[in-house]
Amino acid sequence: MDVNFGPQERILWPASVLAGIVMCGAVYEITCTVSSRCFKGYSRLSHMQKVEWNNRGFSTFHALVAAAISFYLVVISDLFNEDVNGIIIDRKSWLSEAMFGVSIGYFLTDLAMILWYFPSLGGKEYLLHHGLSMYAIGLALLSGKAHMYILMVLFTEVTTPFVNLRWYLDVAGQKTCNLYLYNGVALFIGWLVARIILFVYLFTHMYHHYDQVRSIFTLGFYSLVAVPSTVSLLNVFWFWKILKGMVKTLSKRRKHSENGKTD
């Protein structure tokens, strides 16, 4: 793997990682301040619930930013356009590098909190997910390869706000409200599209561009095959849990509705 640290990278990479860490800290404090003033139930939460509440605030913010930039670079911009000359596996931009740096800063911050409060903020599967994510993003950042595929994986963060909203409503005692049900359905559909179908497209795209994928350095090639495969298995595992939760919620709603009609 050839690593060339140009003047731009020497400033952009560490600055973007630091920006990600600072972003997490700032959004954490903003979430705490806004929630304490605008949500009456926040003061009644336990210390650990408040920590997770604020943690999910910056995870939601990062997810929205990462998904928006990934969508723009992969779908809207011409950076990875098939009609443009050049090998797709080698294409990158300052924006993709900056987003990768910010994401590494986010994953570092979130991982540090998970370890500090382990296992309250997440179990071993979260450690695996974050570790693989930082490894893959870091490798792409250092090598300048496979930015398109890493951006596709980053776009899957678009489902995170639905996961967090589900937790917020649960803690707030709103599991019986319609928003909880609608969010659950949205989470199911979003997860199916962004974390299941999108990975099928990713592997299909890699197959059709196998000559380009195989041309990168050995560690990069095997990592590009192994990391998305492992993450996709985690996504299927979580999707199964989401499906069971949605079926359980819908069953309870139907029974409640039938009992209401009987009464």
Distance CA 227, CA 212 (A): 18
Q: pTM for the complete prediction? A: 0.92
Give the tens place of pLDDT for each residue, 169-178: 999 999 889 9
pLDDT in the model for residue 159: 97
Long-range contacts of residues 138-143, Cβ cutoff 8 Å, at least 24 apart: 138/100, 138/104, 139/219, 139/220, 139/223, 140/100, 141/13, 141/97, 141/100, 141/101, 141/104, 142/1, 142/3, 143/1, 143/2, 143/3, 143/216, 143/217, 143/220
Give the tens place of pLDDT for each residue, 149-168: 999 999 999 999 999 999 99
For the chain, which ranges sit under pLDDT 70? 1-7, 258-263
pLDDT in the model for residue 86: 83
Give the tens place of pLDDT for each residue, 64-104: 999 999 999 999 999 999 888 789 999 999 999 999 999 99
